Chains A and B, each alone.
Chain A
Amino acid sequence: MKRGWITWDKTELPPSAFESRLAVLRQHLAAADLPAVVIYTDIWKSNQGRYFSNIMPYWNRALLVIPRDSAPILLCGLSPRVYPWIRSVTILDEIRPSQNIPLQLSQLRTEKGWTKVGVLDLPQIPWDLAVPNAVDVPWNSVRPQPDDAELSMHRLAAKMAREILAEEIPHGVDAIDHAFVGRLERRFRRAGAEDLLILLTNGATPPLPPNGSNLGQSFSLTLALEYRGHWAKISRSIVPHVPGDSNSKTELLSGPYPWEACNVADLTSGALFALHTETRQDGRRLFQGDSYWQGPNGAELL
């Protein structure tokens, strides 16, 4: 679950950004003659709900319903006792308690007279939340390019990851991986990171969750960092990286998940992604990587 600082700083991410995103979405709904779209969100599959409303159901799941001509509605199992907090960190006002989310959605549709609705990435909706009489609204059709606010937030995440890690990575030499992760958790979370995931290797494997190993003198780590709903993922080695990389791993950051393996060839214009490269030195595997967006002039570092 999320146990970092979830907040909404309107000077960083202005309400107008959400208004613009909702306008694009509503244009799509109008063109498709749909009265509303349903967006699934949970702790980890949160990018899309966050993009349109800043909602993070920190240990649960929810449906974000965006009508074509009225304010978004959240259907969620979180207690009404936390609704004031939800309202303070999102654009949402109407929240309906939904222990049974499909039933609540059905009641909402009846109330609004919606016989047909759109579902964002319909084939990806969880099996138990299948929406009858629904039309697929592909993510790429309503978020064709990242807007300036989105890019700015991802750049902040990447900057935080790079700068703090540059200071901290020397402390990993000869450390036990658990201890080094603990040190990084403290530093990043106190700096306001909402979430992070750290994978490490002492050169024998790719970066993996810590297992009590000594990192030795030539280790690498991969850090996924979420800053106020926006992810960046980087890899760094204690040893200076040498060109001549032999392998790489590409992950899409702008899909529904924080990251998801993909092929470079599949990256479309506007995609946010992480690229990790591997090289070997003295038989040890070393990793380096950064986050990028596929801009008009090619891949640009975030």
Chain B
Amino acid sequence: MTEQGWDLLLLYGHTWRKDFFRCLVNFNFSGPHAVAAVDRSGEVRVIVSDQWDLEGLAAEGRASFEPGFAAGLSRFITNSGSAKIAVAGKELMQSRFTSTDHASATAAVEELRRVKSPEEITLLRQAAELSDRGYQHFANAAEPGMTEYELVAEVESFLKTNGAEDNFMLIASGGTEVVGMKPPTERKLQVGDSVTTELTPQVDGYYAQICRTLVIGEPSAKQLEAFAIFEEARQAAEDLLKPGVDIADVARVQNDVFRKFGYGEYTGSKYTRVRGHNLGLHPDESPYVLEDVNYIVKEGMVVIAHPNTYLPLSGYMVFGDTLLVTANGCTSLNTTERKLFRK
């Protein structure tokens, strides 16, 4: 704050994006809004918009409840007497909560969040371990005739029973007609389906992700051929990922594998979104692993590299682990077998 000339830093969260708030005050508020404010002395004050959140925060420092959040926040800012105010998460704020007088601290705080502390890595390991167990439950529960949303209900129940706060999860099932993933539908699983999932449990604020594909029945030759390409791409990313590498190259080496096999067109935005992303208090943090995103990887980052895309061989397929960047490379926080699962 001193370097930037900020007198007061506000970290804003709403029900969807609690991450900026939780990077300072790791409390899972019910919402819809919360702000943590820190001044140069290090004193932290919190404003919430739900009275039960206020009681839950009792041990977290000076907190207040403002049912009219906009007016309460405005009063707080005025009373702080701060000359220079910055807001992390300003872009997410309702316009009436902020003004052009407030600097955006979003990029600066995102950068601070990218390299994880030992305590954060411990939580991410716990989340990754839960994602492994969750995927095993997913694979055990999936069976022909079950709808996608019933399968997700089973996984959700397992994750919550085992302490997950939340879960980011996409799913798809079917054959070559499947071009991407979405929330679960009433479609029933059938023999021959590829069942794909990104499973991302949250433990004490932190998300870890696992991506695997499961075939109902025996995989076809084309499904096996496709999986071999995904496996080579995933391995290429993990072989490259280390401090000092440009994240764009982590995307490039994955895409090069698809190009080598003649499937380069399936590495673009028509068929896929990203080749991975950072993980932490939000399940989809920047930097994104894309060939046109340049960012030098640092030790202590936690990233998923996933070559998820559509291929005409198999339909959409997913594959990837949560990776901790170490001094000389990276290590997977997942222990789930790296294979094309079958049921």
Interface set of A (CB-CB < 8 Å, partner B): 1-7, 42-45, 58-59, 79-82, 85, 122-128, 130, 178-179, 181-183, 185-186, 189-190, 192, 197, 199, 205-210, 212, 249, 257-263
Do A3 and B160 touch across chains, with their CB atoms under 8 A apart? no
Do B95 and A208 touch across chains, with their CB atoms under 8 A apart? no
Q: With A207-B52, A208-B52 as given contacts, are A186 and B157 in contact (CB-CB < 8 Å)?
A: yes
Q: Residues of B contacting A185 with CB < 8 Å?
A: 153, 156-157, 160
Q: Residues of B contacting A79 with CB < 8 Å?
A: 180, 269, 273
Do B161 and A127 touch across chains, with their CB atoms under 8 A apart? no
A263 to chain B, nearest CB (A): 7
Which of the 9-residue segments B34-42, B162-170, B230-238 touches chain A? B162-170
Do B162 and A58 touch across chains, with their CB atoms under 8 A apart? no
A122 to B94, CA, bound (A): 9
Do B152 and A3 touch across chains, with their CB atoms under 8 A apart? yes
Quick one: closest A residue to B273, CB to CB? A79
Do B310 and A81 touch across chains, with their CB atoms under 8 A apart? yes
Quick one: closest B residue to A201, CB to CB? B52
Do A44 and B152 touch across chains, with their CB atoms under 8 A apart? no
B194 to chain A, nearest CB (A): 15
Q: Which of B51, B95, B180, B269 has the most CB of A within 10 A?
A: B95
Q: Residues of B contacting A257 with CB < 8 Å?
A: 15, 31-32
Do A127 and B32 touch across chains, with their CB atoms under 8 A apart? no
Do A127 and B91 touch across chains, with their CB atoms under 8 A apart? yes
A109 to B141, CA, bound (A): 49
Q: With A44-B31, A261-B51 as given contacts, are A189 and B152 in contact (CB-CB < 8 Å)?
A: yes
Instruction: Find A85's partner among B16, B167, B182, B284 (CB 8 Å cutoff).
Output: B182
7 contacts between A and B (CB under 8 A): A4-B152, A59-B284, A178-B162, A179-B161, A189-B153, A209-B165, A260-B49
Do B49 and A197 touch across chains, with their CB atoms under 8 A apart? no
Contacts between chains A and B (CB distance < 8 A), count = 154
Do A5 and B161 touch across chains, with their CB atoms under 8 A apart? no
Q: Is B64 an interface residue (CB 8 A)?
A: no
Instruction: Find A123's partner among B90, B92, B96, B152 (CB 8 Å cutoff).
Output: B96
Q: Residues of B contacting A210 with CB < 8 Å?
A: 160
A123 to B90, CA, bound (A): 14
A160 to chain B, nearest CB (A): 14
Quick one: closest B residue to A121, CB to CB? B94
Q: With A127-B93, A197-B30 as given contacts, are A59 and B168 in contact (CB-CB < 8 Å)?
A: yes
Do A44 and B169 touch across chains, with their CB atoms under 8 A apart? no
Q: Residues of A contacting B273 with CB < 8 Å?
A: 79
Q: With A185-B156, A197-B30 as given contacts, are A43 and B16 in contact (CB-CB < 8 Å)?
A: yes
Q: Residues of B contacting A126 with CB < 8 Å?
A: 91-95
Do A81 and B16 touch across chains, with their CB atoms under 8 A apart? no
A245 to chain B, nearest CB (A): 15
Quick one: closest A residue to B91, CB to CB? A128
Instruction: Find B179's partner among A2, A81, A123 (CB 8 Å cutoff).
Output: A81
Instruction: Find A44's partner among B32, B96, B161 (CB 8 Å cutoff).
Output: B32
